[in-house]
Chain A
Amino acid sequence: MPDKPRADLSAFASALRRRGIAPPVADRLALEMADHLDDVVDELIAAGESERAARDRALARLGEPETLAASCCAYSELKVWWKRYPRVAAFVYPLMYVVALPAAPVLAGIAHRALVARWTACLFASGVVTSTLFWLLTVVVSPG
């Protein structure tokens, strides 16, 4: 038996994420809502409706993705932590930036250590050459 077309509930999942629902929860809610929709469609078909009419009616019964997502947001434990504790996030995030800013060049250096080593070797070599030239110049030009 061919698979029935499933309702695209990506708009619902996106609306949930925009409202701060954690992405894995949003994806599972959308999946369960699609299962639910299939059950409603099956029930309406069993009651005598055509598949098309049943699907349209089931979708209409479910409501607009934004409205449905809004009603799903009553449980704060389903949200990402910075939406659950916005005051803590307002303190933690700037602090993280203060720590991350000086660490950023160090971490970038570690990530590109081969390039940094090459540049360091070049700078060292040019320093040695320049010092040698200065030394030679001092020896040649000195009156004694």
Chain B
Amino acid sequence: MARSNPPFMSGVPELLLLKLLDGREMYGYELVKAVRAATGEAIALGEGVVYPALHALERGGALRSRRRSVAGRTRVYYTLTARGRRRLAGLADDWQRIQGGVAAALGEPSHV
């Protein structure tokens, strides 16, 4: 079961949202479900994280939004911009480096 976001999750919501939006346009609820599915239920981002993160990314020029009506329902759809793609590449690099460092630290015996 997905747990609430621990403090070391800083930057992870942005990374996941940018990654999921790389390639196709999505709306908030769709993204909440997609994060759970993409992370094998390991990460569940709440509404109070996803929507402000989307707004902040849009303010920073990483995303573009438009209100669209589909099958009688109106929703705000988000797409990645060129700046968003660069941000995604940067965040992904950072994450790989951190993940590698933590994995190495956990896998190696203590230096003491």
Contacts and interface: CB of A to CB of B under 8 A. Distances in A.
A100 to B, nearest CB: 30
Contacts, number: 56
A35 B29 contact: yes
Interface stretch (B34-42, B44-52, B86-94, B96-104): B44-52
A35 B76 contact: yes
A29 interface: yes
Interface in B52-82: 52-53, 55-56, 59-60, 72-76
B63 to A, nearest CB: 13
Contacts of B29: 35-36, 39-40
A78 B56 contact: yes
Dominant secondary structure of chain B at its interface with chain A: helix
Given A1-B72, A75-B53, A75-B56, A35 B28 contact: yes
Interface residues of A, number: 24
B32, B55, B56, B72, most chain A CB atoms within 10 A: B55
B48 A72 contact: yes
Contacts of A32: 28, 51, 76
B48 A71 contact: yes
Contacts of A1: 72
17 contacts: A28-B55, A29-B52, A32-B51, A35-B29, A36-B28, A38-B73, A63-B48, A67-B48, A68-B48, A71-B46, A71-B52, A72-B51, A75-B52, A75-B55, A77-B56, A77-B59, A78-B55
Interface of A: 1, 25, 28-29, 31-33, 35-36, 38-40, 62-63, 67-68, 70-75, 77-78
